[in-house]
Amino acid sequence: MTPAQARAGAKNSDVRRTPTYSPPASKSTRAEQSFVPVGETIPTKMTGTDADAEQENRSSDSPAQLRAQERVALEDNAESNPLAITAYKRNYLLPWAYNSTPNAESFNQVTREGDVDKTEVKYQLSFKVELMDDVFGDNGDVFFAYTQRSWWQAYNSDASSPFRETNYEPEAFIQFDNRFELFGWTNTRNRLGFAHQSNGRSDPLSRSWNRVYADMMFQNGDWAVAVTPHWRVPEESDDDDNPDLYNYIGYGDITVGYTADQHEFTWMVRGNPSKGNFGNQLDYSFPLFGKVRGYVQYYHGYGESLIDYDHSVNRFGLGFSINTFFAGLPET
């Protein structure tokens, strides 16, 4: 039999099934599995015992498990394409974001035409691109990621509706899938990365810093906890726009998430306990229509943006999101 005939025979005997997640299998192994989109069926040649077993496996999977399997399969299929861009952090738009304690001083340095509005538009765009996979045997994927978050005084016509602040954050990280279990929790993912964040302004509004970080994800059923400590790369004092940054944002973030019936709740906390300064963000998202989700966000404290890292804000926002904290995470 020639190699071409062997490949043709293997192709004809393929059985397509919805994959299950069993990290840390190699990316090449996962890519060989087929993904069946929701609402579509693909004819198979299963008969007898195999078909009965397949039907039993499908019927035993919960809707949440099937969604998790589909998310992982989509991520794997996308990452096998060198031109694919996938969501990274949450992507959202808040057409109404009300801050009861705006930073008037910094806004007056942006423009002197009018006062800062308490209501503005806030949005975040975030994506990642895989650069290399399986750097260490069958694990270790290298990514480039970019996140942009903006605060836009869209309704402030007296000040010509300027962008009050935009934070730009390119980063690179290596990701390791894991299945280490401890006290009922599973460490499913670990990342080690380098990030630069700045607001692209000149003095006196310039704010920037570089950091090395680790990101460890732990899951237990419908719960997930991300622990993200960071270390700031030292700068020369003459070049440091925000030397007291640690006094307000501390040495990392902790995010706790819970999901049930496609509703998702998350709480992120950062800060410096020794200084008594904290920042808290509460998020709630729910199905709305199609892939669009309703999104509610509340932020209180320090560190919401670079320009306001040392200014306590109290913001409530309503809008939309298109991906969640749990997107791409495996079912545990």
**The predicted structure's pLDDT at residue 104:** 87
Residue 187 lies in a domain: yes
**The predicted structure's pLDDT at residue 69:** 61
The answer to the question of whether 253 is labelled as a binding residue is: no
Residue 75 lies in a domain: no
Question: Rounded to an integer, what distance in angstroms lies between the CA atom of residue 254 and that of residue 272?
Answer: 13
Instruction: Tell me which residues of the chain have a pLDDT lower than 70.
Output: 1-83, 112-113
From the list 196, 263, 300, 312, the catalytic residue is 196
How many CB atoms are closer than 10 A to CB 108? 12
The answer to the question of whether 206 is labelled as a binding residue is: yes
CA distances from 62 to 38, 68, 202 (A): 14, 10, 53
The answer to the question of whether 208 is labelled as a binding residue is: no
Nearest CA among 31, 34, 110, 117 for reference residue 78: 31
**The predicted structure's pLDDT at residue 17:** 43
Residue 43 lies in a domain: no
From the list 198, 263, 300, 312, the catalytic residue is 198
* pLDDT, tens digit (0-9, with 9 covering 90-100), for 234-271: 998 888 989 999 999 999 999 999 999 999 999 999 99
Range of the domain at 191: 85-321
Q: Work out how many domains the chain is built from and give that number.
A: 1
**The predicted structure's pLDDT at residue 127:** 97
Q: Which residues pair with 150 in a beta bridge?
A: 123, 166
Residue 204 lies in a domain: yes
Question: Rounded to an integer, what distance in angstroms lies between the CA atom of residue 280 and that of residue 184?
Answer: 27
Question: Rounded to an integer, what distance in angstroms lies between the CA atom of residue 39 and that of residue 45?
Answer: 20
Q: Which residues lie below 8 Å from residue 176, measured CB to CB, with a gap of 6+?
A: 24, 136, 139, 140, 189, 190, 191
198 is catalytic: yes
Residue 8 lies in a domain: no
Find out whether 189 and 329 touch, Cβ atoms under 8 Å.
yes
Determine the 3-state secondary structure of 143 from DSSP. Answer: strand
Q: What is the CATH number of the domain that holds 265?
A: 2.40.230.10
Residue 29 lies in a domain: no
Nearest CA among 149, 150, 160, 148 for reference residue 116: 160
The answer to the question of whether 207 is labelled as a binding residue is: no
